[in-house]
Amino acid sequence: MTLPIYPIHQDPGPDFFSLLDKYKIADNKERSLGLSSLDASEFRHGTTVLAIKTADGVVVGGDRRATEANRIAYRSMEKVFAADSHSAIAIAGVAGPAVEMVKIFQIQLSHYEKVEGIMLSLEGKANQLGQMLAAHLPLAMQGLVIVPLYAGFDLTKKLGRIFSYDVTGGKYEEFDYATNGSGGRDARSYIKLNYVENMSTNDGIKLALAALAEAADEDSATGGIDLKRKIYPIVATVTSEGFKRLLDSEIEELIEI
């Protein structure tokens, strides 16, 4: 078996779906993927995530539970990642594609920095993530929705910034805080009542932990603090010094176990 050779003007390139369309192998992208018969609720979903602006940068957090419909599928999912040295991404939605999107995003930022010799601006990084979400829209329309939060320290403006997104790739800068996921509404309500402008990083961390605990108390898809298994929420900070994830021992001290 040999690979087909195309003239330059007929080469379908790396787009697999264009090749299918060219030879009428599938009527549409959804049918070729077989997604029309899938129940998206049966895939693992991650919730809840949040980001809070502080005087020194931002605090990003998330619970650890993943669900499949009304079942707990996984108790210690990672939902907060370092996008690069000075930014973080937190994922809500279908877990598998979301984690893969994070990996690709990390590679793109690293590749740009190596090729250009400078770090992409925070605004540019946020725009790039929006473009990735827009490209994911066909799958999102099938129920495989990814809705991340992106936050980081803007080295040019010397402050923390937070960006939220919709499924179409629309990017929206948040001024003080943002939440997402099934417990996002409860977490947002708690933060709204307790947020103080220019709060310290330590106070921001405590507020994030309290908001996630409030969300877990109201939303069954949000995991709380699991003392038996020693599973705690993920909390990270991004300041001028870079991304830093809190250790479980540090979180234990803050929640006064």
Instruction: Give the model confidence (pLDDT) of 58-96 as tens digits.
Output: 999 999 999 988 899 999 999 999 999 999 999 999 999
DSSP state letters, 39-98: -GGGS-EE--EEEEE-SSEEEEEE---EEETTEEEESS---EEEEETTEEEE--EEHHHH
**CA distances from residue 52 to 25, 85, 200 in whole angstroms, order as listed:** 48, 18, 11
pLDDT for 148 = 96
pLDDT for 58 = 98
* Residues belonging to the active site: 47
* pLDDT of 156 strictly over 60: yes
pLDDT for 32 = 45
Domain boundaries, the chain: 42-255
Dump pLDDT digits (tens) for 137-148. Answer: 999 998 899 999
* pLDDT of 20 strictly over 70: no
Mean pLDDT value across residues 31-50 = 66
Mean pLDDT value across residues 239-254 = 94
Dump pLDDT digits (tens) for 166-184. Answer: 999 999 999 999 999 999 9
> pTM of this prediction?
0.83
pLDDT band at residue 46, thresholds of 50, 70 and 90? confident
Give the CATH superfamily of 42-255. Aminohydrolase, N-terminal nucleophile (Ntn) domain (3.60.20.10)
